[in-house]
Amino acid sequence: MKIRTQIFSWVFLATIVPLTTAALIATYYIEYDYESGVQQSINANLQNLGVELKRRLQAQQDFALGLSRADAVQDFLPLLKRAESGQVPAGFNTHRSRINHYFEGFQTILQGMYIMRLMDKFGNAYVKVSNDKRSAPVYEGISGMMFVEPEINGVEFYEKIKTLTANEVSMLVLMHNAQQSSLMETLPLLDYVIPLYQGKELVGVLSLTLFGESIDSILTHSPRLYDADIFLVENNPDNPQRHGMLLYDDNNAIRIAQLRNTPKYIAELYGDKVLAQISDKPSGRISDTTPGMSIYFYELFPYPTNLTSWILVMRVPDAAVNEPFGQVRLVIWSVAAFALLISLLLGDIGVRLIARPMAKLSKNLLSYAQGEHNQRVETNARIDEIRDMEEAFNTMADSLDRASEERDKAQHMMLQSAKLASIGQMAAGIGHEINNPLNNILSYVKLLERSIEPKDRRIRSDVQSLKEEAMRASDIIRGILNFARQVPPHYAPFNLTDWVQDTLNLVRQSAKTVGIALAAECPQDLIVEGDRGQLQQALINLLINAIQASPSGSEVKVVVSSNQSDAIISVIDRGSGIANEAADYIFDPFYSTKPEGEGSGLGLSVSLGVIERHQGKLSLKNNPDRGVTATMIIPLKRVQDTEHDD
């Protein structure tokens, strides 16, 4: 990671990240607390609105009950009783006109659309006032009485009315309204119905139908907190035709006072899940099906004698609540971005003070590693620590140059002392076996020299030649013994990657001469404890064999891997492979498949001896396609061997 990145990371992680995180957490905490206050405020507003609606509905119910107790109505009840016989009682029409006039007088009180009816117990209307207009009795009934509306199924109506509490307001859906117009088949509000009794006998019914302008007015003029939309839905599971019906909706311009022949349901406009969720509890908050919207709701019961409830709902855009906090977070992110620029500026300053001197030092280190050992660094950095590193590099370079010279000398000595260590015992046996016959030959030669006459010059010359050949053979045996003398490994840890590269450099020129490319695949920082020089000699022998066996233009690859205990070094060539008849002899000393004069047959023997002295293994195996893989397995840590230690 570069210095600029490091400095930026330090400043970013130490200041910007914690401060920005703390600020954002604070905004979210404040927002959560604010949202709790918003919810309380909206719930309070819904409750106040619900109370206002219930107060208005209660006033309308009280008004309907007051109508039923008016003298004009009560005086008409005996006439209703006598009209059941089908004969028009005396003064009937006069009283009916009085009631019409009485009902018309409530125009100033009941603003908007309304219908008042006075009916007999079978639902036949004798009086009907719509707004300020009375209806004329133009419909003749079966009994001969004249009604203001067509006669209805009186028995069914009577059975329903007689179950209601006497002289109290009940809520029903009157079939009379549906008979008037198709636009009135569905009225959002229920009709107020009061059974009228004379004594204990049911004689008539008073009904009040309100179209809901006053409820619309309350809802329309109620405050819309946080840009909310209001809608009102009827919760009536016992009546599927009215359950989920929208009575009022800002968003879809639905009003209670609208005449409608087709109701609108919440499921159509807001989904089935909304009704199920808001019906589950009396108040609360849910997420709308529309993204970015929240629903707050409150349930109220508008009809005391009916289980039907209304659910008052406010749809609030989340942005209206969260927008201030979004702006605050935008400011926080802007400050973080500014701090980010400051961090980058500090990174640039760090580059000038640290990165450039470090890059120059790195370049000199790389050049030195590539063989330019005359590289040195000018110690002029303005930071003490970097200047100390520059001086340390110069000191290291001087020390490495001296160590390199000493290493070359030691390496040469180690290579010489490690030759044929694996055949030391065999060399000793050869020395004994060959030296004895040679000594006998020399003894006989000396005896022959004494017995030859001076005049036999030719014989003396042959004997002298025999003596010289015997002496030369003795010198050869002595040289083999000296060459094969075994030297114990000198254990020390070394970096296997560097060791492989150094070894490849030693044979690179030889490979280049015959057109062979060298490649290596080595893991980084793999440390092996062993005799670097002896193991290098073993690897060199394997590389030379691979180079000599490979055709020109091919590649010899060194692949290094490891397990928990061993380093595995494989040398892969693209030659013709090992013949079956040679497989059993490849490690024998002096065995060679090369032409005479091109090899001594000792390379694999020496390598085997070195690796075995390290408690390792050496194997050669033909590749499936072509070539040979020579594999050295060397313990990563020194394996104690009492024989070698002694």
Print the SS3 string covering 241-279. Answer: CCCCEEEEECCCCECCCCCECCCCEHHHHHCHHHHHHHC
* Spatial separation of the C-alpha atoms in residues 497 and 97, rounded to whole Å: 119
User: Could you give the dihedral angle defined by the CA atoms of residues 253, 258, 261 and 264, in that order, rounded to the nearest 10 degrees?
Assistant: 30
Range of the domain at 532: 492-645
Cβ-contact 80, 95 below 8 angstroms: no
User: Residue 255 falls within a domain, yes or no?
Assistant: yes
User: Residue 497 falls within a domain, yes or no?
Assistant: yes
The number of domains in the chain is: 3
Q: What is the per-residue DSSP string for 66-96?
A: HHHTSHHHHHHHHHHHHGGGSSPPTTHHHHH
Question: Where is 550: in which H helix or E strand?
Answer: none
468-473 LR contacts (CB < 8 Å, sep 24+): 470/438, 470/441, 470/442, 470/445, 471/442, 473/434, 473/438
- CATH number for the domain harbouring residue 313: 3.30.450
* CA 187 to mean position of chain CA atoms: 54
Which has the closest alpha carbon to 62: 260, 271, 233, 208? 208
Domain boundary among 483, 501, 528: 483
Cβ-contact 98, 78 below 8 angstroms: no
> In terms of domains, do 570 and 521 share one?
yes
Q: Phi, psi at residue 520, to the nearest 5°?
A: -145, 140
User: Residue 568 falls within a domain, yes or no?
Assistant: yes
> In terms of domains, do 479 and 537 share one?
no
* Spatial separation of the C-alpha atoms in residues 190 and 302, rounded to whole Å: 10
> In terms of domains, do 470 and 515 share one?
no
Cα of first residue to Cα of last residue in the chain, in angstroms, is: 50
User: Residue 31 falls within a domain, yes or no?
Assistant: no
The angle subtended at Cα 192 by Cα 219 and Cα 261, nearest 5°, is 65
User: Residue 499 falls within a domain, yes or no?
Assistant: yes
Q: Where are the beta strands (DSSP E) in 506-601?
A: 517-521, 527-530, 555-562, 566-572
Output the furthest CA–CA distance in the chain (Å, rounded).
Answer: 197
- The residue whose two tokens read 């230690």 is 645
Residue 535: other Cβ atoms inside 10 A: 27
> In terms of domains, do 466 and 511 share one?
no
Question: Half-sphere exposure of residue 156, counting CA atoms within 13 Å on the CB side?
Answer: 6
* CA 348 to mean position of chain CA atoms: 33
Residue 415 confidence (pLDDT): 46
Q: What is the β-pairing status of strands 527-530 and 517-521?
A: unpaired
> In terms of domains, do 511 and 457 share one?
no
Q: What is the per-residue DSSP string for 112-181?
A: S-EEEEEEETT--EEEEEETTEEPP--EE-TTS-EESS----HHHHHHHHTTSPTTS-EEE--THHHHH-
> In terms of domains, do 627 and 498 share one?
yes
Cβ-contact 261, 252 below 8 angstroms: no
The angle subtended at Cα 219 by Cα 214 and Cα 221, nearest 5°, is 95
Beta bridge partners of 440: none
Instruction: Report the number of secondary-structure helices (H) and strands (E) in the chain.
Output: 18, 20
* Spatial separation of the C-alpha atoms in residues 381 and 378, rounded to whole Å: 8
Sequence-ordered alpha helix ranges (H) in 185-252: 213-221
What are the structure tokens assigned to 369, written together? 């590693």
Domain boundary among 320, 350, 380: 320
Domain boundary among 305, 320, 335: 320
The angle subtended at Cα 419 by Cα 416 and Cα 420, nearest 5°, is 160
What are the structure tokens assigned to 338, written together? 């500014």
Cβ-contact 187, 209 below 8 angstroms: yes
User: Residue 47 falls within a domain, yes or no?
Assistant: no
> In terms of domains, do 574 and 601 share one?
yes
> In terms of domains, do 292 and 234 share one?
yes
Residue 125 confidence (pLDDT): 92
Q: Could you tell me the mean pLDDT of each successive run of 10 residues in the chain, 646 residues long?
A: 61 73 80 80 91 91 91 91 84 91 81 86 91 86 85 85 89 74 62 91 92 89 88 89 90 85 86 86 84 89 86 88 75 79 71 69 74 72 71 79 69 45 58 74 80 79 79 60 59 91 89 90 86 88 88 91 90 85 67 55 74 88 89 87 47
Q: What is the per-residue DSSP string for 328-395?
A: HHHHHHHHHHHHHHHHHHHHHHHIIIIIHHHHHHHHHHHHHHTT-TT-------SSHHHHHHHHHHHH
> In terms of domains, do 454 and 571 share one?
no
User: Residue 327 falls within a domain, yes or no?
Assistant: no
- CATH number for the domain harbouring residue 512: 3.30.565.10
> In terms of domains, do 498 and 461 share one?
no
> In terms of domains, do 562 and 595 share one?
yes
> In terms of domains, do 537 and 570 share one?
yes
User: Residue 99 falls within a domain, yes or no?
Assistant: no
